[in-house]
Amino acid sequence: MNAIQSTARHLSSNFIWFELGSSRNPCPCEYCEILRNTGRKVNDKYDTTLNVVINDFLSGCSNDDDFPEKFRTTLIEITEDDVSACTWGRVVMVYVFAARLAKRYSLQRRDDRVDELIDMTGNYVAENLSLWIEQQNGWVRSCLIKSIIKKIKN
């Protein structure tokens, strides 16, 4: 597993647990901090749309056997299944969608499903978006750009 794939999996775990209000200390690394801040903004901006997507997802999952394939299909729809059409916004949306879905399952006391979401989200980004992330010069370049923009705005 390369560094991009490893980071994708780490971000999944850290972001979803953070969004669930876990008592775990949030990771202080720059990647996680940027995802938490950006994810919060995306979550707020697309609140209504995300609720519709989550409700559609849950109504389309008639049983536990449908869950992994339905989740993967939804992530493909978010990322348009075309690496050339990928954007950082779509990458963030994958994590935000998974965290919102994890909140719903957490409220239903489905901790097994939360763990599954963390794994599947990290794996999806690692396996399907890591090439695109690498083409953007990896997570580091994104973080450097975000840090520069943040400094300019302040």
Q: CATH for 3-22+29-153?
A: 1.10.437.10
| Higher-confidence position of 64 and 99 | 99
For the entire predicted model, the pTM comes to 0.87
Residue-range domain boundaries for the chain: 3-22+29-153
The pLDDT tens digits for 8-49 are 999 999 999 999 987 566 787 888 888 898 899 899 999 999
The pLDDT tens digits for 117-137 are 999 999 999 999 998 888 888
| Residue 25, token pair as written in the block | 């200390």
Alpha carbon separation from 15 to 19, 35, 74, 81, 108 (Å, rounded) = 6, 7, 19, 23, 20
Which contacts of 40-49 are long-range, i.e. CB under 8 A and separated by 24 or more positions? 42/89, 42/92, 42/93, 42/96, 43/19, 43/96, 43/99, 43/100, 46/93, 46/96
| Higher-confidence position of 39 and 154 | 39
